[in-house]
A and B are shown apart, each in its own frame.
Chain A
Amino acid sequence: MALTKEHLLKVYRDMVLIRRFEEVVEKYSKNGTIPGFIHLSIGQEAAQAGVIDALKVTDYKFPDHRGHGAIVLSSHPEDRKRIMAEIFGKKTGINGGRGGSMHINDLAVRNMGFNGIQGSTVVTCLGTAFASVYNKNDDVTVVFMGDGTLGEGTCHESMNLAATWKLPVIYALINNQYAISTFYTDSHPQEKLSDWAKGYGVPGETVDGNDIEVVIESTSRAIERARNGEGPTLIEYMTYRWQGHFSGDPAAYRPDGELEKWKEKCPLKLARQKLIETHAVDEKAIQDIHQEVEEEIEVYLQFSLESPVPAPEDSILHVYADGIQVEGRK
């Protein structure tokens, strides 16, 4: 199922936004402005943009630790600069600078957050899916995971329970082929990780994660199944991360030539080709998109750079609800 020209233009722009967002974050991480670890998703834009595109705002989303793209696209346009400010650790960040790159949530759009532990949200996501059933609505839950995540025992508990109770969960497994340095076939016996779902009687599918049309089409089918009460689906999106595990990792564990081969399959390049060849979009229209995104990213960046840092004593707020306050410094 091919996308309309307008739809493809929209998601192309989404992917450009992720790419530029990540490149800017990389720059300011490497120059020391952004504290802590940064996990970049350059090369994986189609899987993130496509899944988010297929969802409603009210669907629950659990991003993964390489999830800046899915997070920023989930957020309301006016809040997107606050996602970058969060990564910069600023008071204006979407979580007040309390969480940073690895722990961004945005309740307004039901981004339920990543919690920094692989396989943890894979069971938490059962609860939002359960709540949809309990409250008798048709909101589905998408949990992003990686090829490495599948090694965690919680994946079994989650899939077993979701399949038995037919919970509306979509397991969005972005296979970028490396868990830090370990190649995925060195840690899993399946040739296709989607085959893992078969043992639970759950449909599993491995798709080209760099082709955004394929991502949207396969994800939409899974979402429809979930909304119809037919239970979970696992989709494995085959892709590749261009950077190391974290910003600064030289990724010396990858064989020579592998990155170059995958750069040829760049998801942006693929979509651009389709726009030009199938939809007769001209080079100028493409450049306009890039220019527009550039201006938008510049707004995020200036906002992030100029925003104040949090008040230090804000760190003691919200440890507990119900007015229970922990002690600060005396």
Chain B
Amino acid sequence: MNRKISFSKAINEALIQEMDRDEKVFIIGEDVAKMGGDFGITSGIWEKWPDRAFDTPLSEAGFVGLACGAALCGLRPVAELMFADFIGVCYDQVVNNAAKLCYMFEGKATAQLVIRAVTGGGIRCAYHHSQCIEPWVMNIPGLVVVAPSNAYEAKGLLVSAIRSNNPVIFLEHKGLYNKKGEVPEELYSLPLYKANVIKAGSDLTIVAAMSMVEFAVKASQELAKKGIDCEIINPLTLFPLDKETIINSVAKTGRLVLLQEGPKFMGYAAEISSMINEEIFEYLKAPIKRVTSLDTPVPFAPVLEDYVLPHYDDVIAACNQVMSF
């Protein structure tokens, strides 16, 4: 396997191959059909299936609500939120409807829909096109929050998300869209609810998702030169979380650094930290450290945004602190 394609192409391929396999799958959202999506992710689908690709009015509540109703009828909608930030205007449908349908219908009907949400900062678009929304949807039992970090994961996880009978918020970090990676051309799936141990190690566990994985890998290479052996875990499904993989890792290394692009307060890093304290406090050799954004909105001017987002140097500093405790 040495074909390399971009993260965005991998998602496009997953959509086309799943639509080819299952005629219940359709795509819906703003500019997803004729234009092929604001980021081009759905290009070529409308040409192939004009009856299964739908451009909607600007109405996130409308088309996410439609997706919920269509899912109850057995269809498999894949809706696109052009920017994850727009979840605010359809939040009711996500948290009060999609998340609860399986429970309300006692599993006789389910909300097998995917909401692809374009997330994350770094593109100088400020407040309303840059946020990490995962904490907004991780407190809602019934939802599944999936967060790939590379093209291979993106394709395999999106295929699983579409086949899942649970409502999946599929987070696509826009900073990853152009990054290329090895991706098999044939259809494959990767398991939901299962973390990936990117690299095994014995001294320190680093947990990182989406854009933060790159920081983790780079840091582990730098720390290796000093003889520090890092284990890197990407949860892949942030909620419900694969607790076991993380707990087993930290029980082994005794040290944990958590990387999260979004604001510090109440993020997944906070939840994982709390989980480790509750479950295996006695195994810890050092306090847990978090590297996150500042607790501010995301500002526009590059110097301002860069100040707010997590810094690579902070990762190294956190790892060193944990190692020297």
- A residues bordering B, Cβ < 8 Å? 95-96, 98-99, 103, 105, 107, 112-113, 115-117, 120, 122-131, 134-135, 141, 153-154, 157-158, 160-161, 164, 317-322, 324, 326
- B residues bordering A, Cβ < 8 Å? 26, 51, 56-57, 59, 61-75, 77, 92-93, 96-97, 100, 102-110, 112, 141-142, 144, 164-166, 193, 240
Are B73's CB and A124's CB within 8 A? no
Most buried by A among B65, B92, B240: B65
* B residues less than 8 Å from A153 (CB atoms): 61
Are A130's CB and B240's CB within 8 A? no
- Name the contact of A127 in the complex, choosing from B73, B107, B144 (C-beta under 8 A): B73
A127-B67, A128-B69 known; A95+B104 contact, CB < 8 A: yes
CB distance from B82 to the nearest CB of A (A): 16
Alpha-carbon distance A99/B59, docked complex (angstroms): 29
- Contacts A105-B105, A320-B240 known; list 19 others, CB within 8 Å: A99-B104, A103-B104, A115-B96, A115-B100, A115-B104, A122-B65, A123-B64, A124-B65, A127-B65, A127-B68, A128-B73, A134-B51, A134-B75, A154-B62, A161-B57, A161-B66, A317-B107, A318-B105, A320-B166
* A residues less than 8 Å from B63 (CB atoms): 126, 161
Alpha-carbon distance A97/B61, docked complex (angstroms): 29
A115-B100, A116-B96, A120-B65 known; A128+B70 contact, CB < 8 A: yes
Closest chain A residue, CB of each to CB of B51: A134
Closest chain A residue, CB of each to CB of B96: A117
CB distance from A328 to the nearest CB of B (A): 13
Alpha-carbon distance A131/B68, docked complex (angstroms): 11
Some 20 contacts from A to B, beta carbons below 8 A apart, are: A98-B104, A112-B69, A113-B104, A116-B96, A123-B62, A123-B93, A124-B66, A127-B69, A127-B71, A128-B69, A130-B69, A154-B92, A157-B57, A160-B62, A161-B56, A317-B106, A318-B102, A319-B103, A319-B141, A320-B144
Alpha-carbon distance A97/B107, docked complex (angstroms): 15
Closest chain A residue, CB of each to CB of B98: A124
- Name the contact of B69 in the complex, choosing from A103, A124, A321 (C-beta under 8 A): A124
CB distance from A154 to the nearest CB of B (A): 5
CB distance from A10 to the nearest CB of B (A): 29
* A residues less than 8 Å from B59 (CB atoms): 157, 160-161
Are A320's CB and B102's CB within 8 A? yes
- Name the contact of B66 in the complex, choosing from A96, A120, A123 (C-beta under 8 A): A123
Closest chain B residue, CB of each to CB of A128: B69
Are A164's CB and B57's CB within 8 A? yes
Closest chain A residue, CB of each to CB of B107: A318
Are A322's CB and B164's CB within 8 A? yes
* A residues less than 8 Å from B142 (CB atoms): 319-320
* B residues less than 8 Å from A320 (CB atoms): 102, 142, 144, 166, 240
* B residues less than 8 Å from A122 (CB atoms): 65
Are B70's CB and A131's CB within 8 A? yes
Are B96's CB and A131's CB within 8 A? no
* A residues less than 8 Å from B61 (CB atoms): 123, 153-154, 157
- Name the contact of B70 in the complex, choosing from A105, A130, A317, A326 (C-beta under 8 A): A130
CB distance from A119 to the nearest CB of B (A): 8
Alpha-carbon distance A154/B92, docked complex (angstroms): 10
Alpha-carbon distance A164/B63, docked complex (angstroms): 13
Are A319's CB and B102's CB within 8 A? yes
A134-B26, A319-B142 known; A324+B104 contact, CB < 8 A: no
